[in-house]
Structure formats: structure tokens, C-alpha cells
Amino acid sequence: MNYFPFFIRTFRRKEGLNRAKYPQLALIALIIFSAFSCTRDNKDEIVAHHDQIVAQALKDVPLLRAFKERFPESKHFVSNITGQYGPPTWNSATPLYGRYVFWMIIPVSIDHQTFKVYLDGDPSFYLHEITAIGFLPGGRQNISVGDDIHFDAKMSMKLRATNWNFETLGIKLKKNQPVPGFSNYVAY
């Protein structure tokens, strides 16, 4: 679709346009279209550097580093990293006791020049219990879930202050009841 003629028609109606102004309009249009293409290239660059962005954030951001140190098996990624389809969100997830997935989600922003991650809000924590894993035809999995706990701000602060000890919140985890097939499920 060609937007240029509409722009020129609108401009003519408001100020009156003589042909001498066409080169100026062409220059303005070129600058606008260049800006959009630079944004696109930068978004592609951000996606291409996802793993570096995550690795640096795990070093620079104290909360993310603490989660990684406490849960060395955890996986980390940024969803919506470009911000094009919603705000970027940090995700950290770790398997616990062969039965649970503990998840931390935080709204973040990313400096598009330095690729530095900044926390834009409070973290949310979730504990998902997997009670059974079955297999369906074609290799698909059938997952049965048990308790699904969301930690509010007060609970999450207490959890972090006690070095992630769930029992201080009255949550007794089934530490000796692993679910068969769990390690394949969390291999994501």
C-alpha cells in the first residue's frame, strides 16, 4: 500500500503544496521509513542476543542471581523480548524434588542499545505440582497437576528472606515422591 499520495493530498489541503516541496517531502518520508527499519533491525538484534542478555542479567541483577545460585538447575528466558507483542517478561523456572516446578516471573525492560535488563515490577512466584505424567499416541504427554500455588507479595518476601524455605509458609513439599517421567517433562 502506498501511503505517500495520501500524505501529499493531506498536506496540499492544509498548506497548499507546490512541486518545489516534493523533494522535502521525499526526504521526510525517507527519514521516517529509515527509522522504522532501524527499529526492526534492532529488534532482530535483541532476539539474536537473547542468550547473552540472559547471561548478563543473571550476573548483574541481584534477585535473578540469587534465584540462579539457590536453584542451579533453573532455566531462564525473556518472553516478548522485543516488546512488540506485550511487555518483556523475565521467566525463571526450576524443578524441585522430581515433582514440582517453581516459577518466578518479573516484568522487565531491556535497553536496546546496551541490552541491559531492568526490573520493572515485583516478582510473582508460582509453585506447580505435577502428580502424574502419561503418554498419548504420537509421543504427546498427558500431565496431571495437583496444587498450584501463587505467592502474593508478602509470601514471596518471606520466602526470599528465608532462603526459599517453603515450610516457613506452611507448605509441606512431597520431597520423597518423585513422579516417573518428570525429568523428561522439565527438560524443556
Residue ranges making up the domain that contains 8: 4-48
Residues 17-32 pLDDT 10s: 455 555 554 555 545 5
Residues 101 and 29 occupy one common structural domain: no
Q: Are residues 81 and 44 in the same domain?
A: no
- What residues contact residue 170 under an 8 Å CB cut-off, 6+ apart? none
Task: Please check the confidence at residue 179 and state whether its pLDDT lies above 50.
Answer: yes
* CB atoms inside a 10 Å sphere around CB 100: 23
Do 149 and 177 lie in a common domain? Answer: yes
CB 147 within 8 A of CB 130: no
Q: Alpha helix locations (H) across the chain?
A: 4-15, 22-48, 50-60, 62-70, 153-161, 182-185
Mention every residue, 6+ apart, whose C-beta is less than 8 A from residue 164. Answer: 70, 71
* 83 and 175 belong to one structural domain: yes
Claim to verify: residue 79 and residue 41 sit in the same structural domain: no
Same-domain status, 91 and 136? yes
- pTM: predicted TM-score of the whole model, two decimal places: 0.73
Question: Do 120 and 55 share a structural domain?
Answer: yes
> 153 with 63, same domain?
yes
Averaged pLDDT, 2-17:
41
91-123 tens-digit pLDDT: 999 999 999 999 999 999 999 888 899 999 999
* 122 in the same domain as 86: yes
Looking at the fold, whether 109 and 163 belong to one and the same domain comes out as yes
How many independent structural domains does the chain possess?
2
153, 65: one domain:
yes
